[in-house]
Each structure stands twice: as C-alpha cells, then as structure tokens.
Amino acid sequence: MVKVYWDKGHGGTDPGAVGNGLQEKVLTRKIVEYAMAFLDAHYIVEQRCSRSGDESKTLKQRTDDANSWGANLLVSVHINSAASASANGFESHIYPNAGVATVSFQNMLHAEIMQVMRAFGVTNDRGKKQSNFHMLRESKMVACLTENLFIVNAYDANRLKQEEFLKAVGEAHARCVLKFLGLAGKPVPQPVPTPQSVPQPANATRRVKIIDVSSAAILMDKPDRINGANIGTIPKGAIVDMVVPVAGFNNGNTGYYKVVYNGKTGYINAKFGQEV
C-alpha cells in the first residue's frame, strides 16, 4: 500500500513560531490531522505522522522514521515567521535540484493550497522555493515543505485562528497527495439488501378462515370471551373479512380478530381464525 508520511512541524518543548496568541506547533498538528482524516475517510492509503500528540521530536528522528518506514511521500507542514510583522503569504519548499517528481509534486501542492487560501482572502503567493532544509535533504522520498502564512502578521493570524481555514488548508494538502499518488478510493459500503416485499394493493383486505371449531365460531360484540355478548356464529371453513387483530380481554396472548360477517362487525377468538 502507498505510504504517506506527515510531519507536524515542531512540537513538545519547541513551539515553533509564536505570535498573535498562536503557536506554530498547535496549528501544524491541526492542519495535518485534517489532512489525514480526509484521506483516511475516502482513500486506500497508509499514513504516519511525526508525532501523535505534543511530543518533542528532533528533525533527525522524523526523517529516520519516514526513511525506515519506507514512505513514498513526505509532507512537512509549517507556519512562517519573520522579524517584521508585515511579512505575509504562502510559500512552499523542495530540496534544490530535486528530481522531476518532486518538482511536479511541489507545483501541484502549491497551486492547490494557494487556490484554497485565495478563497479566504490570502493573495500573497511568495512562490515555489528550493531550500536546503533538513526535512527535505535527509528524507529519501519525494518531499515538500509548506509554510502556511505568517504567525506574526495580524491578517494572516486572523485566518490561522479560523478552524475552517485550517481544515480547508489540511484538505488541500490531502487532495494534492491523492492526485499525485493516484490513490484509489475506498469502496463505498453497499446498503444491506432489504427483503423483497410482496406488493400489496393500497387497501388490501385481510381475511381469516374459521378453523379449529366443531361447527361454528361465536361472533362477539366486544373482544372479551367472558363478558362479550354473542351476536352471531360463523360456520367452520367460512372466510371472512378481518379488520384488525386485537389483544382484547381474557384471552391471554391469543387475542381476537375484529371481523365483518354478514354485515355485522364483531370479534372472534383468534384461535378459531387463520389469516389467509
């Protein structure tokens, strides 16, 4: 199965960039978790990330982990910072002179993320860069690092404070990964087939046949074999229209059928009727 390694930038004792009440390590974790959840829900892929919670991991531990696991692709997610609070926008990085596959992945990822960010009012595309970063240099697979806006910039930080922005950016990363790797979709669960029901006319009449009596069943004025009055008899073998089965009184679990016989509506002991 195809393996994708997600690096949640920083973590633990290293908060990464801080500013405007935000910490980079918190944001990178959220973005990656949105990306992983998106792929996990819909695609056949194996995913691993550099930290599940807020652990401290060195850069070497991260690339060693990705390399020994045999990842096919590595995505390292970061938030940018600068001395000047006016710095803003999005940029992506690959290792200098990386292969064509890496360049192609950066092109796709960069375009996908910028498109989503534009929808949130981010206009500054700082470009596709080549950088001698540890995560890109020491990883053996196609790798790209994203710097998702500037934490020190008030306008950028206002976007980073929106959960829906982090989700959209995470899912943009995920969509690009699935396109680049050509991931297959998970089979859509098929609904359990329901038993074929026999089509019935809307007002189908139910009928019961009189059985298990010596000659006739007694038709009663109420569903109560002790207190009901006899209003007629229905001969054995007759088939009559049945209105509804009722529990009634004094007949335990057996109950009664409300039936119509010769224009009279009454009740018979259900043990003398068989629905036909």
Long-range Cβ contacts of 242-248 (<8 Å, 24+ apart)? 242/205, 242/206, 242/207, 242/208, 242/273, 242/275, 243/206, 245/270, 247/223, 248/222, 248/223, 248/224
Q: Which residue is nearest to Zn ion (CB)?
A: 78
173 contributes a contact to Zn ion by CB under 5 A: no
Give the tokens for residue 163: 């959960």
Distance CA 257, CA 235 (A): 15
- Which is the catalytic residue, given 24, 91, 112, 147? 147
String marking each residue 33-72 x if it binds Zn ion according to CB under 5 A: ----------------------------------------
Residues paired with 20 in a beta bridge: none
**Residue placing its CB nearer to Zn ion in the complex, 16 or 170:** 16
16 contributes a contact to Zn ion by CB under 5 A: yes
> Count residues contacting Zn ion (CB under 5 A)?
3
Q: Residues 68 to 127: which contact Zn ion by CB under 5 A?
A: 78
Distance CA 34, CA 221 (A): 68
Is 147 designated active site? yes
Output the CA torsion 261→267→269→273 (10° steps): 40
Minimum CB separation from Zn ion for residue 89, in Å? Answer: 15
Minimum CB separation from Zn ion for residue 78, in Å? Answer: 3
**Residue placing its CB nearer to Zn ion in the complex, 31 or 181:** 31
Q: Residue 272 CB: number of other CB atoms within 10 A?
A: 20
19 contributes a contact to Zn ion by CB under 5 A: no
**Residue placing its CB nearer to Zn ion in the complex, 65 or 228:** 65
DSSP 8-state assignment for residue 224 = B
**Residue placing its CB nearer to Zn ion in the complex, 146 or 269:** 146
25 contributes a contact to Zn ion by CB under 5 A: no
Distance CA 49, CA 224 (A): 72
Task: Give, in order, the Cα–Cα distances in Å from 21 to each of 9, 17, 31, 169.
Answer: 18, 11, 17, 20
**Residue placing its CB nearer to Zn ion in the complex, 84 or 215:** 84
Cβ atoms of 246 and 256 closer than 8 Å? yes
**Residue placing its CB nearer to Zn ion in the complex, 135 or 220:** 135
9 contributes a contact to Zn ion by CB under 5 A: yes
Minimum CB separation from Zn ion for residue 80, in Å? Answer: 7
String marking each residue 210-249 x if it binds Zn ion according to CB under 5 A: ----------------------------------------
Minimum CB separation from Zn ion for residue 12, in Å? Answer: 13
Residues forming contacts to Zn ion in the complex (CB under 5 A) are 9, 16, 78
Residues with catalytic roles: 147
